[in-house]
Amino acid sequence: MSDPDCLFCKIVAGEIPAEIVHEGERTIAFRDISPQAPTHVLVVPRDHEPNAAATAHTDAATFAEIALTARAVATAEGYDDYRLVFNTGAGVGQTVFHTHGHVLAGRPMGWPPG
């Protein structure tokens, strides 16, 4: 399932280049083009859903793989501590409407975020 107009669907399909750092059965992970931390990787499902809530509702196994992939990416980058962020909706900063988690590591992060 893909959306022909979706940037991340095009990356998953190999139509747009990206620096891929991990591939799983249901997910692919690539470096963010505008990193907000020394490690900033996006983990996206191969199938198109508009946001994290939709993926969690329709495909719990894929949602779990996103979290497992995030851990694998952080570990491969040399980090035990990392932040995994999902933006769900334009009002909180989602700009690409294909589910994706941001794996951020390598610098101190405050709380609350934002």
Catalytic residues: 100
User: Is the distance from CB of 67 to CB of 45 less than 8 angstroms?
Assistant: no
Distance (Å, whole) CA 108 – CA 56 = 29
Cα–Cα dist 35/102, whole Å: 10
Spatial contact of 99 and 56, defined as CB atoms under 8 Å apart: no
In this structure, the dihedral spanned by the alpha carbons of residues 100, 79, 71 and 41, taken in order and rounded to 10 degrees, is 20
Identify the three-state secondary structure at position 82: coil
